[in-house]
């Protein structure tokens, strides 16, 4: 990264985990290669939505996965390499630290498993975000997780992503002297972690790579028929 200060600029951060270990909680219905293929499709859905938003001054993909790096390069994103996949919290924290050192003013972090996210939803989140210091957050559909976090400055709070991260993130904002803004958008709120999430995705018509993968691989038909036989 350049050392040129970019105060006031807005960057998106997308962590892409080791695809061979992605989505373990889907293992009851998807095999290893199916999980890898689905995660690759979902990550590209998210990156494509980010790339369509003209308010970003840059995109930073945090990954140690070769396919994740190749995906980032196809979309013109910068890559922050991880020697070891230590999870979303570690990846976003590393991205925030790097961007703050560069002088970037605002970070928007999205995970790679929210395939129905749209560019319009991301623009809505940015429009709701206030002047620094500020935090805006989109909770997961169950109200427990954090599916999108915007921070000005990028390292405003200590990140703590996980199944119950929403309230800790709100508390961290208050501890930093900031009143967080909460915005809900249906596409961003649907994260795919469990078989039930996968069925919800299939019930929500959308033109995504994830849907196309589920259809072309036969997974959609298999789940619709109630079968759980895995292939690879």
Q: pLDDT (tens digit, 9 = 90+) per residue, 154-190?
A: 999 999 998 899 999 999 999 999 999 999 999 999 9
List beta partners, residue 109.
13, 149
* 216: number of Cβ within 10 Å: 11
Domains and CATH numbers, the chain: 10-221 (3.90.550.10)
Provide the b/e sequence for 54-72 (b: ≥16 CB within 10 Å).
Answer: eebebbbbbbbbebbbebb
∠ CA(15), CA(21), CA(24), 5° rounding? 105
Residue 18 has pLDDT above 70, yes or no: yes
Q: What's the pLDDT tens digit per position in 90-146?
A: 999 999 999 999 999 999 999 999 999 999 999 999 999 999 999 999 999 999 999
Both tokens of residue 229? Answer: 């036989």
């Amino acid at each position: 990264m350049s050392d040129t200060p970019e105060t006031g600029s807005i960057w998106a951060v997308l962590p892409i985990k080791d695809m061979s270990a992605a989505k373990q909680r889907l293992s009851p219905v998807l095999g290893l290669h199916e999980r890898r293929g689905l995660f690759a499709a979902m990550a590209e859905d998210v990156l494509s939505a980010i790339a369509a938003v003209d308010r970003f001054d840059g995109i930073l993909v945090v990954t140690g996965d070769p396919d994740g790096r190749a995906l980032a390069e196809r979309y013109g994103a910068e890559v922050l390499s991880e020697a070891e996949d230590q999870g979303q919290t570690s990846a976003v924290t590393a991205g925030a630290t790097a961007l703050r050192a560069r002088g970037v003013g605002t970070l928007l972090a999205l995970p790679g498993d929210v395939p129905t996210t749209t560019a319009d939803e991301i623009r809505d989140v940015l429009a709701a975000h206030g002047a620094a210091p500020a935090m805006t957050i989109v909770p997961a559909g169950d109200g427990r997780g954090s599916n999108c976090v915007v921070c000005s400055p990028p390292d405003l709070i200590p990140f703590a992503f996980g199944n119950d991260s929403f309230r800790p993130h709100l508390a961290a904002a208050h501890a930093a002297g900031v009143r967080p803004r909460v915005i809900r958008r249906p596409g961003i709120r649907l994260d795919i972690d469990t078989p039930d999430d996968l069925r919800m995705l299939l019930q929500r018509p959308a033109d995504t790579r994830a849907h196309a993968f589920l259809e072309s691989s036969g997974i959609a038909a298999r789940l619709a028929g109630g079968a759980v036989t895995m292939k690879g």
